Amino acid sequence: MSDPDVVRIFDTTLRDGEQAPGIALTKAEKVEIAEQLARLDVDIIEAGFPVSGEGEFQAVREIASSVRGPVIAALARVVPGDIERAAEALKGAERWRIHTFISTSQIHLQDMLRMSYDQVLEGIRDGVKLAVGFTEDVEFSAQDATRTELDFLLECFRVAVEAGATTINVPDTVGYAMPHEFGELVRTVRESVPDQVVISTHCHNDLGLAVANSLAGIVNGARQVEVAVNGIGERAGNCSLEEIAMIVRTRSEALGVRHHLNLKEISRTSRLVSMTTGYSVQPNKAVVGSSAFAHESGIHQHGVLSNRATYEIMDPLEIGLEGNRLVLGKHSGRHAFADALAKIGIELEADHLNRAFARFKELADRKIQLTDQDLAAIVSEELGSTEAEVFVLESLQVGGGTHLSPTASVRLRRGEEVIEDSAMGDGMIDAACGAIQRAAGVEARLVTFNVSSVTGGTDALGDVVVQLEVDGRRVTGRGVSVDVVEASARAYLAAINRALQIANGNGRGKDVKP
């Protein structure tokens, strides 16, 4: 029997997190995130929803066969095609789980699934039984559990357990519950299923209560929490991994539970997910925001200088927050580069390393020294582009100023073909993006544009994340450069490349979302 005081951390960044609008990770990025989650020691990684598309299937398969440590899970509706596809994708894993689900609330049954209660119960029985034929580790989720009639919900869970489910998940799919209600619901479910079945929470953040509700679940007997790094996910997102991790760590005695996370990896995991998804972390976000450990008031600064505990309840070193060290310059070689990456926990395959090194050299020639944060940003831009690269930016020329109309000319390469085009715009960034659009022959609408600097100072690398709408689909791109116009152009082209890659069928079929 497993330790009753341990809360399992089930990470759904790659599945529910990746469903957030505009996020479309490449396979390499997904594998990189999964490897980082393994370093963080999460108990379960939900790698994706294999039936939703070929790209998604391949990514789950790659993660299952290469990432060691955590249980690898995949999502499936309670239908044979989904469950068989999930099993196929997962079978290379050391330990794996099928996570199967169906909606149970009246509103979903009536207006979405058009199914009766009896049909749902039959679906659960058959689906869970089929999954158990592939693996003993089967989780069942009742989608929209918090708006489901209680007796029917308990009946669904009873049927799932009887068919062999070992984890029962109680999702607050629409983020509607309040902590006292959700806690009560989890307690009722806990009391109605056998002790060896693990009760899980899956809380969405529509009312900003995902973490509070998950905590209420833990207090009332849940021993698995479904979370996403930086709280990303559908709409307002999911319960944030780092917040629940640090609540359980900091208030372990009061809660009477613990987890097995390797907390030193929290900060790096948050950074990696933010960089690859293009979802930046708000500065005042608990635990991982850039201001989470910054003290502005003189009184606070004075207190912290003599004893950190006067105003800090957590040690930033515990979550792996070490300063921003200068690490490399233009004379650094490939070895030093690989070494510096290894020190911040990044290991790349030879091909990715070569490309990232070439990019590093290009930037180091234009910037005197690069910090560990710069390196992480370069790698993330490179990983994002390697798979999606349909067009490569060969050169960019821009002109403009207070009295000149901004113009830009670009040269792109697609295989052997070189394409040149130019455009005018409202500003130099606008002109550069217009020229790229013309050269690539893609109609794109800019949805969001976010520019920040990787570190401080006027010589900082500019870090640009754009979200475009291409053929009705939102895609994100990221670009890093010493020059903000070039960073914007790179981000714009990365997003276009990603859209083309998805259109070519090498991406998630986001139309089939749970």
Residues at the interface with Zn ion (CB under 5 A): 16
Contact 49, 90 (CB under 8 A): no
**Shortest distance (Å) from residue 15 CB to Zn ion:** 8
In the numeric block, the tokens 């710069």 are attached to 374
**Shortest distance (Å) from residue 19 CB to Zn ion:** 8
Among 104, 141, 214, 269, binds ligand KIV (CB under 6 A): 141
The conformation of residue 314, written as its DSSP 8-state character, comes to: S
Choice between 4 and 81, CB closer to ligand KIV: 81
**Which of Zn ion, ligand KIV, none does residue 55 bind to, with CB < 5 to 8 Å depending on kind?**
none
Nearest to 381 by CA among 491, 475, 279, 496: 491
**Which of Zn ion, ligand KIV, none does residue 214 bind to, with CB < 5 to 8 Å depending on kind?**
none
**Which of Zn ion, ligand KIV, none does residue 374 bind to, with CB < 5 to 8 Å depending on kind?**
none
Choice between 97 and 478, CB closer to ligand KIV: 97
Choice between 211 and 464, CB closer to ligand KIV: 211
**Shortest distance (Å) from residue 121 CB to ligand KIV:** 18
Cα–Cα distance, 126 to 160 (Å, whole number): 9
Choice between 16 and 374, CB closer to Zn ion: 16
**Shortest distance (Å) from residue 204 CB to ligand KIV:** 6
Choice between 20 and 215, CB closer to ligand KIV: 20
**Shortest distance (Å) from residue 328 CB to ligand KIV:** 41
The conformation of residue 461, written as its DSSP 8-state character, comes to: P
User: Rule CB under 6 A: is residue 508 a binding residue for ligand KIV?
Assistant: no
Q: How many chain residues interact with ligand KIV (CB under 6 A)?
A: 10
Nearest to 230 by CA among 218, 215, 250, 244: 244
Binding to ligand KIV by CB under 6 A, coded x per residue (else -) over 356-395, reads ----------------------------------------
**Which of Zn ion, ligand KIV, none does residue 101 bind to, with CB < 5 to 8 Å depending on kind?**
ligand KIV
Binding to ligand KIV by CB under 6 A, coded x per residue (else -) over 159-198, reads ----------x-x-x-------------------------
Q: What is the CA radius of gyration of the chain?
A: 24
Q: What residues have CB less than 8 Å from 30, skipping those under 6 apart?
A: 14, 18, 47, 48, 59, 62, 63
**Shortest distance (Å) from residue 78 CB to ligand KIV:** 11
**Which of ligand KIV, Zn ion, none does residue 143 bind to, with CB < 5 to 8 Å depending on kind?**
ligand KIV
User: Rule CB under 6 A: is residue 139 a binding residue for ligand KIV?
Assistant: no
**Shortest distance (Å) from residue 171 CB to Zn ion:** 6
DSSP β-ladder status, 473-481 and 462-470: antiparallel
Cα–Cα distance, 242 to 461 (Å, whole number): 27
> Where do the H-state alpha helices sit in 164-223?
179-192, 210-219
Q: Give me the DSSP letters along 427-439.
A: SHHHHHHHHHHHH
- Helix H or strand E segment including 493: helix 484-503
Choice between 147 and 285, CB closer to ligand KIV: 147
> Where do the H-state alpha helices sit in 210-344?
210-219, 241-250, 252-255, 266-277, 298-306, 334-343
**Shortest distance (Å) from residue 436 CB to Zn ion:** 35
Contact 381, 490 (CB under 8 A): yes
**Which of ligand KIV, Zn ion, none does residue 200 bind to, with CB < 5 to 8 Å depending on kind?**
none
365-386 burial code (b ≥16 CB/10 A, e <16): eeeeebbbbbbbbbbbbbbbbb
Among 27, 61, 202, 490, binds ligand KIV (CB under 6 A): 202
Per the structure block, which two tokens stand in for 498? 């990603």
Q: Which residue is nearest to Zn ion (CB)?
A: 16
Contact 95, 64 (CB under 8 A): no
Per the structure block, which two tokens stand in for 175? 């983020």
Choice between 78 and 465, CB closer to ligand KIV: 78
Which SS3 state, helix, strand or coil, does residue 178 take? Answer: coil
User: Rule CB under 6 A: is residue 143 a binding residue for ligand KIV?
Assistant: yes
Among 8, 14, 16, 86, binds ligand KIV (CB under 6 A): 16
Contact 321, 292 (CB under 8 A): no
Choice between 12 and 371, CB closer to ligand KIV: 12
**Shortest distance (Å) from residue 406 CB to ligand KIV:** 45
Choice between 237 and 434, CB closer to Zn ion: 237
Among 57, 96, 101, 279, binds ligand KIV (CB under 6 A): 101
Q: First-to-last CA distance in the chain?
A: 32
The CA distances from residue 22 to 56, 140, 204, 433, 475, in Å, are 16, 28, 18, 18, 5
User: Rule CB under 6 A: is residue 514 a binding residue for ligand KIV?
Assistant: yes
Per the structure block, which two tokens stand in for 149? 């009639």
Choice between 170 and 480, CB closer to Zn ion: 170
β strands within 104-208, DSSP E: 138-143, 167-172, 198-203
**Shortest distance (Å) from residue 170 CB to Zn ion:** 12
Residues that bind ligand KIV (CB under 6 A): 16, 101, 141, 143, 169, 171, 173, 202, 204, 514
